[in-house]
Structures are given as structure tokens and as C-alpha cells.
Amino acid sequence: MKHYFNRYNILNFIMFTLLIFFILERISTFLIFQIHLETIFYFLVYIISLRFILLLEFCIFIYMIIIDLIFRIVEFDSFKNSIKSYIATWKIRRFLSQTNVDTTFNELASILNRKQMIIKKANRSLLTLTVDYYEKGAIAKWTLSDNCESYNIMEELLAQAKRELNQLDNRYLFNDFIRLENGRTFISTAARKK
């Protein structure tokens, strides 16, 4: 579970919940003005609490961006690389996600459900995949699933992941993914081409 708490997943979650709470707040405000209730105290408390949650999430979002900006400044790196890292992580996760389950006509429903669960666990391991670009290089890190079948599915994609990473930004040349000791974590480093 600790592998899923990276800045990309947290930023995605915050942006998603910001959107949901903003929509709820707008709909609630619209309904209050359309209903013309005599006692709107509870609705006002509801809207104020929604606005407080929106403000809190927006502050957390800005705080994370400021921390990332400070981190990049301390390392004498550009903030553009942080944005490039976020976009590359999103693109490579989308590229590697598994959607289809190969089925035959005579397959039982239980076997099909089992295959779908394996694919679901394999796709869940994509949440641990991160790509970080820096001025002189880049790092791609991926922790694969505990499940053997899901692990095998995603391990077959490591070569394709390397090719796709090299295509995302042709100024960086990624190495093969190497498994770190005592774990399921694979890492690939890249050097910037001159």
C-alpha cells in the first residue's frame, strides 16, 4: 500500500475531489436559490462546509506544487521537468494499461472472472509507476504486483515500457529496467543526449 502514495496519485486524487466538491457546491447553491426555502440554515451550513473542503483541498494542491517547486530550485532544476514528469507518468500508465481479456467460446464464467481479477491487479500495479525527469537524466520506477500471474503480465511489458519512454522524449535515452534487490521494484535510468 505504501507504494501507491506517490505525488502523482495524490495530485490526481486532489484534482478529482476538487472537481467533485466544486460540482456539488455549485449544484447546492443553484438548488437553494431555486427552491426559495424559508429555513435555509442547514443548506447554508452544507454549502459553507463544501466551500471549506474546497479551500482546504486547493491549499493542499498549491502546497504540493510549492514543495515541488522548492525541491526543483534546490536541485538547480527547471519546474518544466516536473510538469514533463507528470505528463510522462500519465502517458506511460495509459499506454501500459491492460484492457482486454482473451476469451474463447467455451470458457466458464469463473475462469473469465479470475482472468479479469488478474488484469485488475496488474493494472493496479501501474499506480506505482512513476517517471521523473531532471536536467541531466531521468528515472522510471515501477513496483510490480504481489500476484504471480499479474507480475508475469507486467514483467512482459518492461521492454515495451522502455521503448515507449524513449519515444516520449527523444532527448533522454532510457536503459533496460533492472530489478532491485529483495523486492519487486524495477528501475530504469536515462541519460540526456547531448
Shared domain check, 99 and 186: yes
Shared domain check, 107 and 19: no
Shared domain check, 142 and 100: yes
Shared domain check, 127 and 106: yes
Query: Can you point out the beta strands (E) in 9-160?
Result: 130-133, 137-143
Q: What is the pLDDT of residue 27?
A: 83
Length of the chain equals 194
Looking at 74, 100, 134, the residue that finishes a domain is 74
Question: By the 8 A CB rule, do 138 and 190 touch?
Answer: yes
Long-range contacts of 61-65 (CB under 8 A, 24+ apart): 61/11, 61/14, 61/15, 61/18, 64/7, 64/10, 64/11, 64/14
Strand (E) or helix (H) holding 51: helix 41-74
Query: Who's near 71: CB < 8 A, 6+ residues apart?
Result: none
Q: What is the pLDDT of residue 4?
A: 60
Number of domain units in the chain: 2
Q: What is the pLDDT of residue 140?
A: 92
Q: What is the pLDDT of residue 15?
A: 85
Tens-binned pLDDT, residue by residue, of the chain (194 aa): 555 667 778 888 888 888 888 888 888 777 777 776 666 677 777 778 888 888 888 888 888 888 888 888 888 888 888 888 889 999 998 998 877 665 555 556 666 677 788 888 888 888 888 898 988 899 999 888 888 888 888 888 888 888 998 888 888 999 988 888 878 889 999 988 87
Shared domain check, 65 and 141: no
Which has the closest alpha carbon to 138: 88, 186, 98, 101? 88
The whole-angstrom distance between residue 44's C-alpha and the CA centroid of its chain comes to: 35
Shared domain check, 169 and 85: yes
Query: Who's near 29: CB < 8 A, 6+ residues apart?
Result: 47
Shared domain check, 7 and 60: yes
Shared domain check, 130 and 95: yes
Q: What is the pLDDT of residue 103?
A: 58
Range of the domain at 99: 79-194
Looking at 18, 42, 74, the residue that finishes a domain is 74
Shared domain check, 35 and 112: no
Q: What is the pLDDT of residue 181?
A: 85
Shared domain check, 92 and 29: no
Q: Full-prediction pTM beyond 0.85?
A: no
Shared domain check, 156 and 113: yes
Looking at 59, 74, 89, the residue that finishes a domain is 74
CA angle at 174 for the pair 173 and 180, rounded to the nearest 5°: 155
- Quote the CA–CA distance of 31 and 123 in Å, as a whole number: 39
